[in-house]
């Protein structure tokens, strides 16, 4: 199932609201179910879970295993609501939502550009790894230390060029408006279900 | 490189019926030394052949025999630099400042040793990247699109440089004039297949006959 921009932003805001209400465990449970429903569990398993476990490991050393659990749960809610909410949303459609909220076209389009650039960066990592290996500098650990240098230089060069292009020819309001819909067919039913499930869990927990 | 009479031809690398899903459809090539040009339009599979030879792309079917040490300079030459100055890059590669200075002169960068390699022009960066790829003792050097962004004079420098390396080279290019000028043999690729392998000159006539002149 694919979410529209309203659904993605809704999931993100819902996650933040649950944190403000001090309900991280309920939010975490619902987010895990949601990741299965939306098909974004791969992102959760491969990207978010290892980072959360790593953070938990570090915090455990400083504060203890159980003492750090609540903090880790809060971080997990933040990371999951962002990844579950936004990983299935088309970035260019999300830009259109930002435009509808009132952001200027160049700022609204920047979300899609950053998203696209991150995608490009993952390709670039493999290219830089092969480039270093091609000159005999690609040992497993030494390459890890060397990789950031060409990557950072390339990123700065590219971002300067893109910023220049956007400055001289910013995307027009009309061109962004033509790109897809703001809300997908499942956005509102899913947000309503999420709200009801949270309410049920909160009421059940208070008894 | 033509072997003497009676001397067996030893292939540097061999590809036999190599398939990569959606990219290569049964590529067979034997590299015997000198400069082999892989020529074809964008998307014909040239870079994929280089990546198979390099070892970063695993074929789904077929046989690959390649040397253990393969040097490579890819499309973006700047990605192979990581030291503050050009001199540092060369010194790390050759082991002494004296020898590094010699390579610097050979590249025509005698007065640029203290500059960052990221400040070089595309042509100069390409030369440095190819030289670095050849300095660590590889038995084969791969070069992907060596002429991108170069003018005629720079193309000539890169072409002559590749011919003078003294190591077997495979270069992928979509520039027919460059390939026929500087390669000893040319493999023409289309749709993930090698359609023709041979001396460079006859290729130009064949391309016109096939209507494939880019």
User: What are the C-alpha distances in Å from A43 to residues A1, A50, A79, A96, A185?
Assistant: 15, 10, 11, 24, 23
Regarding whether B53 and B147 lie in a shared domain, the answer is: yes
Q: Which domain holds residue B95?
A: 81-136
- Give the distance from residue B54's alpha carbon to the nearest chain A alpha carbon, in angstroms: 8
Asked which of B136, B154, B180 is the last residue of a domain, the reply is B136
Higher pLDDT, residue B213 or B203: B203
Question: CA-to-CA distance for B166 and A102, rounded, in angstroms?
Answer: 62
pLDDT-based confidence at A201, cuts 50/70/90? confident
Regarding whether B113 and B20 lie in a shared domain, the answer is: no
Q: Give strand pairing partners of B68.
A: none
**Domain boundaries along the sequence of chain A:** 1-90+181-207, 92-179
For B192, the token pair is: 């993930």
pLDDT over threshold 80, residue A23: yes
Between chain A and chain B, the number of residue pairs with CB atoms below 8 A apart is: 66
pLDDT over threshold 60, residue B62: yes
Q: What is the pLDDT of residues A43-64, one digit of tens each?
A: 788 888 898 999 999 999 999 9
Average per-residue pLDDT for chain B? 90
Helix (H, G, I), strand (E, B) or coil at B28: strand
pLDDT-based confidence at A160, cuts 50/70/90? confident
What confidence score (pLDDT) does residue A78 get? 92
Region A138-159 average pLDDT: 85
pLDDT over threshold 50, residue A118: yes
Asked which of B97, B113, B136 is the last residue of a domain, the reply is B136
The least confident of A97-111, B35-49, B116-130, B183-197 is: A97-111
pLDDT over threshold 60, residue B4: no
Region A113-142 average pLDDT: 85
Helix (H, G, I), strand (E, B) or coil at B85: coil
For A188, the token pair is: 């509102």
- Give the distance from residue A132's alpha carbon to the nearest chain B alpha carbon, in angstroms: 5
In a domain, B4, yes or no: no
The least confident of A166-180, B105-119, B168-182 is: A166-180
Region B119-148 average pLDDT: 94
CB contact under 8 A, A135 and B69: no
Question: CA-to-CA distance for B136 and B132, rounded, in angstroms?
Answer: 7
In a domain, B5, yes or no: no
Q: Is A153 exposed, middle or buried (0-12, 13-18, 19+ CB in 10 A)?
A: middle
In a domain, B2, yes or no: no
Across the interface, of B79, B136, B142, the residue whose CB is closest to A128 is B79
Question: CA-to-CA distance for B14 and B30, rounded, in angstroms?
Answer: 5
CB contact under 8 A, A135 and B80: yes
CB contact under 8 A, A134 and B142: yes
Statement: the pTM of the whole predicted model exceeds 0.95: no
Instruction: State how many domains chain B has.
Output: 2
Across the interface, of B56, B79, B129, the residue whose CB is closest to A154 is B79
CATH number, residue B153:
3.40.50.300
Regarding whether B149 and B128 lie in a shared domain, the answer is: no
Question: CA-to-CA distance for A193 and A80, rounded, in angstroms?
Answer: 18
pLDDT-based confidence at B1, cuts 50/70/90? very low
Regarding whether B214 and B163 lie in a shared domain, the answer is: yes
Kindly list the residues from chain A whose CB atom is less than 8 angstroms away from the CB atom of residue B79.
124, 127-128, 131-132, 150, 154
What confidence score (pLDDT) does residue B2 get? 40
Interface of B to A at Cβ within 8 Å reads 51, 54, 56, 69-74, 76, 78-82, 93, 118, 129, 132-133, 135-138, 142
The least confident of A5-14, A26-35, A87-96 is: A87-96
Regarding whether B207 and B121 lie in a shared domain, the answer is: no
Question: CA-to-CA distance for A163 and B55, rounded, in angstroms?
Answer: 36
Asked whether the beta carbons of B77 and B122 are under 8 A apart, the reply is yes
Regarding whether B195 and B127 lie in a shared domain, the answer is: no
HEC assignment per residue over B33-53: CCEEEEECCCCCCHHHHHHHH
Q: What is the pLDDT of residues B12-25, one digit of tens each?
A: 999 999 999 999 99
Q: DSSP letters of A85-146?
A: HHTTS-HHHHHHHHHHHT--HHHHHHHHHHHHHHHHHHHHHHHHHHHHHTTT---HHHHHHH
Question: CA-to-CA distance for A191 and A183, rounded, in angstroms?
Answer: 12
Average per-residue pLDDT for chain A? 86
Regarding whether B212 and B143 lie in a shared domain, the answer is: yes
Region B184-189 average pLDDT: 94
Q: Give strand pairing partners of B170.
A: B36, B142
């Amino acid at each position: 199932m694919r979410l529209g921009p309203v659904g993605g932003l809704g999931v993100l805001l819902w996650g933040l609201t649950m944190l403000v209400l001090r309900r991280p465990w309920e939010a975490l449970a619902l987010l895990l179910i949601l990741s299965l429903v939306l098909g974004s569990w791969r992102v959760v398993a491969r990207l978010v879970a290892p980072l959360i476990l790593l953070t938990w490991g570090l915090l455990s050393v400083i504060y203890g295993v159980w003492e750090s659990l609540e903090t880790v749960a809060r971080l997990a809610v933040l990371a999951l609501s962002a990844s579950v909410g936004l990983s299935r949303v088309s970035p260019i459609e999300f830009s259109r939502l930002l435009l509808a909220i009132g952001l200027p076209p160049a700022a609204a389009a920047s979300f899609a550009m950053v998203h696209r650039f991150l995608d490009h960066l993952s390709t670039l990592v493999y290219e830089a790894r092969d480039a270093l290996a091609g000159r005999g500098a690609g040992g497993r650990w030494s390459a890890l230390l060397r990789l950031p240098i060409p990557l950072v230089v390339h990123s700065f060069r590219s971002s300067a060029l893109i910023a220049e292009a956007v400055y001289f020819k910013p995307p027009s309001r009309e061109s962004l408006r033509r790109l897809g819909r703001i809300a997908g067919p499942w956005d509102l039913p899913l947000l309503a279900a999420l709200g009801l499930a949270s309410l049920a869990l909160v009421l059940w927990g208070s008894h | 490189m033509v072997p003497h009479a009676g001397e067996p031809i030893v292939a540097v690398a061999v590809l036999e019926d190599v398939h990569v899903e959606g990219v290569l459809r049964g590529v067979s090539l034997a590299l015997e030394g000198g400069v082999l040009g892989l020529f074809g339009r964008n998307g014909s599979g040239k870079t994929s052949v280089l990546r198979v030879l390099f070892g970063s792309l695993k074929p789904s079917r077929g046989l690959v025999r390649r040397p253990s040490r393969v040097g490579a300079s890819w499309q973006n030459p700047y990605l192979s630099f990581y030291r503050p100055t050009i001199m540092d890059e060369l010194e790390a590669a050759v082991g002494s400042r004296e020898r590094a200075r010699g390579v610097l002169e050979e590249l025509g960068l005698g007065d640029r040793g203290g500059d960052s390699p990221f400040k070089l022009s595309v042509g100069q960066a390409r030369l440095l990247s190819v030289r670095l790829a050849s300095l660590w003792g590889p038995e084969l050097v791969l070069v992907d699109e060596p002429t991108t962004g170069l003018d005629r004079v720079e193309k000539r420098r890169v072409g002559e440089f590749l011919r003078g390396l003294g190591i077997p080279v495979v270069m992928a290019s979509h520039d027919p004039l460059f390939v026929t000028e500087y390669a000893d043999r040319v493999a023409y690729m289309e749709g993930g297949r090698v359609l023709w392998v041979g001396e460079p000159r006859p290729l130009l006539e064949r391309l016109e006959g096939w209507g494939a002149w880019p």
